[in-house]
């Protein structure tokens, strides 16, 4: 049963208005809007029954949260390193192949990524060989990527967040991409804003791009002094134009308000 809302209300305020005398104030009572029980002005205004129901609801919610945590823990698959003997596919970083291949399970990869699903469900080289070669990624990043597919967890820093986001985009793992994007937004500052803005544009991260642009617009007086500005001018001048157009639009809107 959901808890009843217990709200303190003066029963006579509406009738008395703002010019309430001391004698009138003595007649004011607190009333619970749920159970209609009255209280003196000096009391807390919370009836015992409503208070108990609120506590019971809180305790019930706490149990539900613990149960959900337990279910998530149960549904989270163990790291493939713990079940290497049952793995039926390996992932190999093409540019860092000296390390041991990373074991995984086809059914897990298929369920997490439509790209892996296409590789392993159709008659492709990866399905026949049981080996998935991934380019432009380090062993540590690929290992973190596979581990995330099993656990939905990663110990991020700025570099790893960017690298995993790229893999999330490449293999259409939306949950991972969002996870990394939120991390980059949380760690946003002026020194990272321009590089994050260009990165977000390249990998279609709308929220990260919006937050980065907002930080840039708040620091337009020092834009050209930022060490990433010159690089952005060389690599993507279109974004520089977009920054200035947005800034001018903001100034015009501000001027129009007056």
Q: Which of 158, 187, 216 is the last residue of a domain?
A: 187
Residue 182 has pLDDT above 80, yes or no: yes
Residues of the chain with pLDDT > 90, as a percent, come to 54
- pLDDT grade, residue 7 (50/70/90)? very low
Domain interval for residue 129 = 81-187
Q: Same domain, yes or no, for 92 and 174?
A: yes
This prediction's pTM: 0.70
Q: Same domain, yes or no, for 183 and 193?
A: no
Q: Same domain, yes or no, for 206 and 146?
A: no
Q: Same domain, yes or no, for 66 and 109?
A: no
In tens, the pLDDT along 70-102 reads: 777 666 776 666 566 678 899 999 887 678 899
In a domain, 3, yes or no: no
In tens, the pLDDT along 11-47 reads: 444 444 545 555 554 555 666 666 666 655 555 556 6
- pLDDT grade, residue 214 (50/70/90)? very high
Distance CA 247, CA 230 (A): 18
- Strand-pairing partners, residue 132, are 91
Q: Which of 187, 208, 223 is the last residue of a domain?
A: 187
Return the CATH number at 113.
3.30.710.10
In a domain, 104, yes or no: yes
In tens, the pLDDT along 148-170 reads: 999 888 999 999 999 999 999 99
DSSP conformation letters of 111-170: HH-HHHHHHHHTT-HHHHHSEEEE-S--HHHHHHHHHHHHHS-----HHHHHHHHHHHHH
Q: In the predicted model, what is the mean pLDDT of residues 170-184? A: 95
Q: Same domain, yes or no, for 243 and 225?
A: yes
Q: What is the DSSP letter of 43?
A: S
In a domain, 148, yes or no: yes
Output the CA torsion 65→70→71→77 (10° steps): 140
Q: Same domain, yes or no, for 112 and 20?
A: no
Looking at residue 253, its pLDDT comes to 83
| Strands 89-93 and 102-104, sheet pairing | antiparallel
- Pinpoint the alpha helices (H) of 47-99: 48-75
User: How many domains is the chain built from?
Assistant: 3
Of residues 147 and 253, more confidence is placed in: 147
In a domain, 5, yes or no: no
Return the CATH number at 246.
1.25.40
Looking at residue 6, its pLDDT comes to 45
Q: Which of 22, 49, 75 is the last residue of a domain?
A: 75
Range from 21-25, 45-49, 53-57, 60-64 that averages highest in pLDDT: 60-64
Q: Same domain, yes or no, for 199 and 232?
A: yes
Looking at residue 53, its pLDDT comes to 81
């Amino acid at each position: 049963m959901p808890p009843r809302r217990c709200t303190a209300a003066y029963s006579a305020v509406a009738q008395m208005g703002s010019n309430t005398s001391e004698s009138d104030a003595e007649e004011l009572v607190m009333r619970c809007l749920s159970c209609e029980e009255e209280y003196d002005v000096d009391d807390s205004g919370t009836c015992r029954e409503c208070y108990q129901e609120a506590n019971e609801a809180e305790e019930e919610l706490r149990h539900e949260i613990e149960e959900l945590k337990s279910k998530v823990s149960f549904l989270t698959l163990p790291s493939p390193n713990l079940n290497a003997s049952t793995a039926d596919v390996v992932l190999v970083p093409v540019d860092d192949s000296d390390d041991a291949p990373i074991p995984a399970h086809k059914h897990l990869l298929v369920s997490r990524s439509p790209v892996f699903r296409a590789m392993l469900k159709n008659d492709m080289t990866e399905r026949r060989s049981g080996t998935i070669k991934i380019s432009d990624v380090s062993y540590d990043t690929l290992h973190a990527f596979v581990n995330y597919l099993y656990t939905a967890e990663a110990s991020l820093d700025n570099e790893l967040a960017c690298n995993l986001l790229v893999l999330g985009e490449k293999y259409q793992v939306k949950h991972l991409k969002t996870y990394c994007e939120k991390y980059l937004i949380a760690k946003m500052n002026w020194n990272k804003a321009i590089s994050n803005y260009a990165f977000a544009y390249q990998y279609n991260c709308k929220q990260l791009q919006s937050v980065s642009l907002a930080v840039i617009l708040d620091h337009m007086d020092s834009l050209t002094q930022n060490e990433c500005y010159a690089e952005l001018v060389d690599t993507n001048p279109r974004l520089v134009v977009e920054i200035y157009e947005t800034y001018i639009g903001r100034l015009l809107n501000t001027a129009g308000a007056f």
